[in-house]
Structure 1
Amino acid sequence: MNSKSLLRSTVLLAVAVAVGISASPVQAGATTHQVTSGGVQFVKLDHPQPVRESALTEAVEFFWYDCVHSQALEQPLQAWAEKHRADVALRRVPAVWPGSRDEAVQRAHARLYYTLEQLGLVDRLQAGAFRAVHDERLDVTTEATATDWAVRQGVDGQAFGRTYRSAVVNQSVDEAAAAFTRYGINELPTVVIQGEYRTSPTRAGGVEAMPEVLDRLVQQEREHSR
């Protein structure tokens, strides 16, 4: 990755944080306080968010295809989720910061992600989508350009287009924007465990440290639920 890409990602993160602080109203779900345990830092939401009914612990990742740190977490997070297949359900939420200067692009990237999700293609194409957006600097912000990329990955263009325009994808994009406000997200990537504890690179001590933090949080949640 070149220095220009890294600088752009850093600037985008700083802008997004500033927008999130200045433009988003303070909500109960966004109220947090920092917790330190054994040198591992994370944030505890004072008002835990609902989780989907499941026997598994829920992990929610907030990411953006145009974020170098989100891309760096993709492979370690996949490996972590595979290791925890029996006890953790991973759910992804693409970045949509309401009111930010990048909101339109983020919504388009979110639409791409949810189209892949509806087609069952996230596992196969998530890493490729990161490369297309962040490394190759491809424009996938319209139906035509996103479909063109998908077809080159072996996806049926008609099925992709129908899904891209679908009501369920429209709703999912809107819900992603609401989730960013509700969870009080101010850094990418962020992972929230069981709607209560969240960690991110600056909290954990870098992207490479996040899986270990997630292990501790899952174990903590398991102990609390006994």
Structure 2
Amino acid sequence: MFKRHARTLVLLGGLLLASACTASNSDAAAPYTEGQEYVTLPAPYQRYSDEGKVEVVEVFSYGCIHCAHFAPVAEQLRKALPKDVVFKLVPAPFSAEWLPYARAYYAARQLGVLEQSHLELFAEKFAQHYPINTLDELADFYARHGVNRDEFMRVATSEAVTAQIKRDFELIQKWQVDGTPTIVVDGKYRSAQVKSYDQLSALTQWLVKRELAGK
């Protein structure tokens, strides 16, 4: 079993990390077991968006090496999902050290450079060992890839981004996510104890098919 990375939130005054795992009835006929590889979250289920499609969310951080290892698998997963399924990323601000990565994610998304920078940020931090830990160092990373540094800092530190982080963290709490990478399907199912990144991908596809069949 690969180790899942968990942190404790210390910023964003008033935001407290609350983690708990729940388990429901297991299904002996299924390839995955309720309460082991996945859990069904308590109702009412809360999705990340209102697009109307079945939703796959990866809760992640650029500060998590396990997320870096899962990232290319997640990219293949995203491409393999049916057209009526949407894949989304939500950064987890589980610590003071991880907060800059959450800000960087939202800034990159707003500036339209997320798609081309997502895998590259993991590569430079963990494979090439660039010092990419602080918001200033993240700004340097995006500047190397053609983003105006001042504009990046303005967006990353904006009140709008701070509010978005707070909203998303409250949802992460409701999903009872306590480590990364974690997959949440339709705000209803959350991945739990999986043995490999490939199993996490396969579990996600199985949960998606289950949810599509239910609709």
Same fold (TM over 0.5): yes
Equivalent position to 1:56, from 44, 53, 56: 53
* Higher RCO (CA-CA < 8 Å; seq separation 6+): 2
Q: CA RMSD in A?
A: 2.6
| Aligned equivalents of 1:109, 1:176: Cα separation in 2 | 14
Equivalent position to 1:111, from 103, 109, 125: 103
Residue 35 (structure 2) pairs with residue 45 (structure 1): no
Q: How does 1:136-151 map to 2 (within 5 A)?
A: 136-142=129-135, 144-151=136-143
Q: How far did residue 190 of structure 1 move? A: 0.4
Equivalent position to 1:213, from 161, 179, 203: 203
TM-score (norm 1): 0.78
| Aligned equivalents of 2:159, 2:170: Cα separation in 1 | 17
Q: 1:50 aligns to what SS in structure 2?
A: coil
Q: How far did residue 113 of structure 1 move? A: 1.0
Q: Which residue of 1 aligns with 2:187?
A: 195
| Aligned equivalents of 2:168, 2:46: Cα separation in 1 | 15
Q: How far did residue 59 of structure 1 move? A: 0.9
**AA of the residue aligned to 2:7:** A
Residue 16 (structure 2) pairs with residue 16 (structure 1): no
Residue 143 (structure 2) pairs with residue 172 (structure 1): no
| Aligned equivalents of 1:61, 1:48: Cα separation in 2 | 20
Equivalent position to 1:154, from 142, 146, 151: 146
Q: Percent identity?
A: 22
Q: Which runs of 5+ in 2 are unaligned?
A: 11-15
Between 1:150-159 and 1:47-56, the stretch displaced more is 47-56
Q: Is the 8 A contact 1:140 1:149 kept in 2?
A: no
Q: How far did residue 121 of structure 1 move? A: 1.6
| Aligned equivalents of 1:148, 1:78: Cα separation in 2 | 25
Residue 74 (structure 2) pairs with residue 83 (structure 1): no
Q: How far did residue 145 of structure 1 move? A: 2.3
Q: Structure 1's 38 and 65: CA in aligned 2 closer, same or farther, altered over 3 A?
A: same
Q: Which runs of 5+ in 1 are unaligned?
A: 1-8, 98-102
| Aligned equivalents of 2:79, 2:171: Cα separation in 1 | 25
Q: Is the 8 A contact 1:66 1:134 kept in 2?
A: no
Q: Which residue of 2 aligns with 1:5?
A: none
| Aligned equivalents of 1:133, 1:49: Cα separation in 2 | 35
Task: Give the total of aligned pairs.
Answer: 200
| Aligned equivalents of 2:177, 2:64: Cα separation in 1 | 14
| Aligned equivalents of 2:82, 2:108: Cα separation in 1 | 21
Q: Which residue of 2 aligns with 1:72?
A: 69
Q: How far did residue 85 of structure 1 move? A: 5.4
**AA of the residue aligned to 1:189:** P
